[in-house]
Amino acid sequence: MTTILPTPTVSSSTATGQVRLTVRGLRKVFADDPRPALEMLRRGATKAEVLQRLNVNVGVAEASFDIRAGEIFVIMGLSGSGKSTIVRLLNRLIEPSEGQILLDGRDLTALRYGDLVEVLRRDMSMVFQSFALLPNRTALENAAFGLEVAGVKRADRRKAALAALERVGLADHADHYPDELSGGMQQRVGLARALAKNPTIMLMDEAFSALDPLIRSDMQDELLRLQREEARTIVFISHDAEEAMRIADRIAVMEDGRIAQIGTPAEILRAPADEYVRAFFRGVDASRVLRARDLARPPDDGNPGEPGRFRYRTDTAGHFRGVLAGDGTSALFGLEPVAADTPILALLGRVAAAPCPLPVVEADGRFLGVISRAVLLAALDRGEDARREVRHG
């Protein structure tokens, strides 16, 4: 069921590619005796069938995926599709019925409780949708709360909490109580509380869903900024397609307790695995999500000497050098390449005016491929269709 699409281009994200969390054959059913339900799921039964036959709720029917160091991995899906259950399984708030969870290659499901608490305390922080701030404590005390629970000394935890408040731009509100703070500020305190532990992994369950749209996009920016400064591994739950597209390095789309698709935002937009996934992203404007790197394709070099063809030259390090007109003159002409991060809307004029498909390069000059008019138009056209469908239902 899991569809892992090939990655055609190199990602610009902070992800190092090293796997931090591995989830394998994970299942969670809510029953005293999970065996009959698990047996049905192994034979491919759906969540609805298990509920109907056994009256057992399935949280996760089957999930397998890897999360890489430094990436923002968004798990999205409709309400009830199993997102929160997965997060709770990751930090062992609940026990899996079946399957493995490996952190840096270590099987968490096999750890003794004491060792587990130690690992989770060191590596993971959780940010919830409800800010869950203690009303009778200041922002600083709230930010320090996780450390207090972990038994960190008062002076040390105040120092860490203040540094965390600074990172989310709230140091000057350290002595304010929650009811003196706006919703956005309260959520920043929630974020600071998670950051104070300096976790290498952050689990965020609908962390921004309760915020007003403007504040919400502020918080998304904030998260992306923090991620640029010090990359953590972030598992971010969302039911919002725009949010997922905006912040995700990769997205796992959940459908009835299973993973319908895993891929980068561009991969999922380009090739949704099924109707459910397609419907989910229908309203998303592709022209705002896609960047030059997402559209870059290997150049069609044609035959040397064939008129009207172009050949793209790179040096031994793969850096772009220029374009050879295939007209037999073999003259190398200079053509300013496009930066891989350029949003595709900003490319329209250049692609239209260029004598050949535009070369795309990474920040270090590495040649990624070319963007032709046809490919650009096809990508924009999809965005137009999507908007039309949203407007007219």
Ligand X SMILES: Nc1ncnc2c1ncn2[C@@H]1O[C@H](COP(=O)(O)OP(=O)(O)O)[C@@H](O)[C@H]1O
Could you list the residues that contact ligand X (CB under 6 A)? 30, 57, 59, 77, 79-85
Shortest distance (Å) from residue 88 CB to Mg ion = 9
**Residue (85 or 287) nearer to ligand X, CB:** 85
Distance CA 74, CA 57 (A): 24
**Residue (79 or 303) nearer to ligand X, CB:** 79
Q: Is 75 helix (H, G, I), strand (E, B) or coil?
A: strand
Return the closest-CA partner of residue 150 out of 137, 138, 135, 160.
160
**Residue (84 or 233) nearer to ligand X, CB:** 84
Shortest distance (Å) from residue 200 CB to ligand X = 24
Shortest distance (Å) from residue 110 CB to Mg ion = 27
**Residue (103 or 252) nearer to ligand X, CB:** 252
Shortest distance (Å) from residue 207 CB to Mg ion = 11
**Residue (93 or 378) nearer to ligand X, CB:** 93
Contact 307, 330 (CB under 8 A): no
Q: Which does 22 bind (CB under 5 to 8 A by kind): ligand X, Mg ion, none?
A: none
Q: Which does 200 bind (CB under 5 to 8 A by kind): ligand X, Mg ion, none?
A: none
Shortest distance (Å) from residue 59 CB to ligand X = 4
Tokens of 30: 């809510």
Whole-Å CA distances, 5 to 21, 35, 64, 174: 19, 33, 15, 46
**Residue (51 or 335) nearer to ligand X, CB:** 51
Q: Which does 55 bind (CB under 5 to 8 A by kind): Mg ion, ligand X, none?
A: none
Distance CA 232, CA 249 (A): 12
Name residues whose C-beta falls within 8 Å of residue 334's C-beta, 6 or more positions apart in sequence: 322
Distance CA 70, CA 226 (A): 11
Shortest distance (Å) from residue 53 CB to ligand X = 15
Q: Which does 85 bind (CB under 5 to 8 A by kind): ligand X, Mg ion, none?
A: ligand X
Q: How many other C-beta atoms lie within 10 A of the C-beta of residue 180?
A: 12
Q: Which does 82 bind (CB under 5 to 8 A by kind): ligand X, Mg ion, none?
A: ligand X
Q: Which does 81 bind (CB under 5 to 8 A by kind): ligand X, Mg ion, none?
A: ligand X
> Could you tell me the sign of the dihedral formed by the alpha carbons of 203, 209, 215, 220, in that order?
positive
Angle of helix 35-42 versus helix 47-54 axis, rounded to 10: 140
The whole-angstrom distance between residue 42's C-alpha and the CA centroid of its chain comes to 28
Binding residue count for Mg ion, defined by CB under 5 A: 1
User: Of 70-89, which residues contact Mg ion (CB under 5 A)?
Assistant: 84
What is the number of the residue whose Cβ is closest to Mg ion?
84
Shortest distance (Å) from residue 76 CB to Mg ion = 11
Contact 392, 367 (CB under 8 A): no
Please provide the size of the chain in residues.
393
Q: Which does 59 bind (CB under 5 to 8 A by kind): Mg ion, ligand X, none?
A: ligand X
Q: Which does 246 bind (CB under 5 to 8 A by kind): Mg ion, ligand X, none?
A: none
Return the closest-CA partner of residue 192 out of 137, 133, 109, 150.
133
**Residue (260 or 360) nearer to ligand X, CB:** 260
Return the closest-CA partner of residue 242 out of 206, 285, 211.
285
Shortest distance (Å) from residue 81 CB to ligand X = 4
Whole-Å CA distances, 114 to 110, 111, 152, 200: 12, 8, 17, 20
**Residue (84 or 233) nearer to Mg ion, CB:** 84
Contact residues toward Mg ion (CB under 5 A) are 84
